[in-house]
Structure formats: C-alpha cells, structure tokens
Chains A and B, each alone.
Chain A
Amino acid sequence: QKEVEQDPGPLSVPEGAIVSLNCTYSNSAFQYFMWYRQYSRKGPELLMYTYSSGNKEDGRFTAQVDKSSKYISLFIRDSQPSDSATYLCAMSADQGAQKLVFGQGTRLTINP
C-alpha cells in the first residue's frame, strides 16, 4: 500500500466549475501538507501549504486537511482553462521539507 493515494484521473470539467481534488494517506506522522501544480514538462509549482488540520484559502484555491480521517483536499473555484495541469499532493512528517512524499498526481483539464 502506498503511503499517499491520489486518484490519477484524468478529470475533465467545464470552465467555471468547482473542482475537488483529494488525497488519502496512511502515515499518521504527517503534519505538513502541500499542493503543487505541474504543467507538462515543467517542475512542480507550490500552490498551497498547510500545517496540521484546518482550512487555508488563497484566491480561488482552498486547501483542507482532516488529520482524523487522513484526508486532504484542494478546491478550485471558478476554474479556468489555464488551471489545466497535473495536481500533486505532498506531505511530510518533518520540518525542513525533509522527505516530501507525493501522490501520483491528478491530471485536470478545464474545457472552455
């Protein structure tokens, strides 16, 4: 069993839709949670960072962490074609970005 599970998709939604992306994990020691966006043939770009449980909002993006269920989510409101990319969840048990453990990534397409 992988430490971090993420549905690879692909996920295709119309422009303007609310997108929900999710990851589950098995290691209860994880306490730092991140979402990255990766365009084709590019490096991952940090979108959201959350420590422990709770919600964090940044513009059209909202990250949620439920440590009791070992479940994290990323919501994208008013989705745009430019949001089309692969979204990766990542998590770590330690400060200093030590050993980030990534999900497989979900490929998202926003259709105009």
Chain B
Amino acid sequence: DAGVTQSPTHLIKTRGQQVTLRCSPKSGHDTVSWYQQALGQGPQFIFQYYEEEERQRGNFPDRFSGHQFPNYSSELNVNALLLGDSALYLCASNPGQGTEAFFGQGTRLTVV
C-alpha cells in the first residue's frame, strides 16, 4: 500500500519565480493538507483540500494557492518566490472525517 507520495524531492528556484509541488494521497484518503516546515521548527499549516475545495486555510499569503483533482491528488503553487519561502513542504492525507494524518517525505525547496 503506497503511502503519501510527493514530487519532486528537491527543488532550487530563483527569487521571483513560481513553483508547483505535487502530492498523491494514501490509498483510500480523500483529504489533502499542505504544511511548511522551516529548519528547526514544527510544520505550519498552509491549507486543506476536501472534495476539490479549500476547506480551511492557515496564515499564509495569497501567493500560496492549491488545487485538488478528482483523483484526490493535489498541487501547491507558490508565486513570486521569496528567500523566506525556502523550507520543507509537506503533504498530509487523511480520510474525510478521520483525524489521523499521514505525511509524505516532503519537497525541499531552496530559493536563491
């Protein structure tokens, strides 16, 4: 049973560029959440998608946007990248009303 998978694993972008990160949820899960983890910190909630709609959003600017597809996979888009956007981006999935969230390995984004 494949767990949560994310791509790419690593990414280097230049300040001002745009980036798209991808996530496939664990089999049987229909809800996907995205988190940003800075070095030495706990993950910070960005937003959650359920039934292709953004269900809840954390304290992140509109430069951060997302999408969920009919097969429950999801994308995170970040526009106008800043140096401070450098972090590990984590995707988590859970079944609709289940509270146990399972995380992927993350995408390490470096903005130079």
Contacts and interface: CB of A to CB of B under 8 A. Distances in A.
Nearest to B95: A96
A45 B103 CA distance: 7
Contact of B45 (A36, A42, A99, A104): A99
B42 A104 contact: yes
Nearest to B48: A98
Given A101-B45, A102-B42, A96 B103 contact: no
Interface residues of A, number: 29
A43 interface: yes
B31 interface: yes
B94 interface: yes
B102 A46 contact: yes
B101 A46 contact: yes
A34 B102 CA distance: 11
A81 interface: no
Nearest to A99: B45
B103 A44 contact: yes
B105 A42 contact: yes
Contacts of B48: 96-99
Interface of B: 4, 31, 33, 35, 40-45, 48, 50, 55-56, 58, 90, 92, 94, 96-106, 108
Interface of A: 4, 6, 8, 32, 34, 36, 41-46, 49, 51, 88, 90, 92, 94-105
| Interchain residue pairs A-B with the least CB separation, the first 9 | A102-B42, A97-B101, A43-B103, A97-B94, A32-B99, A43-B105, A44-B103, A99-B45, A43-B106
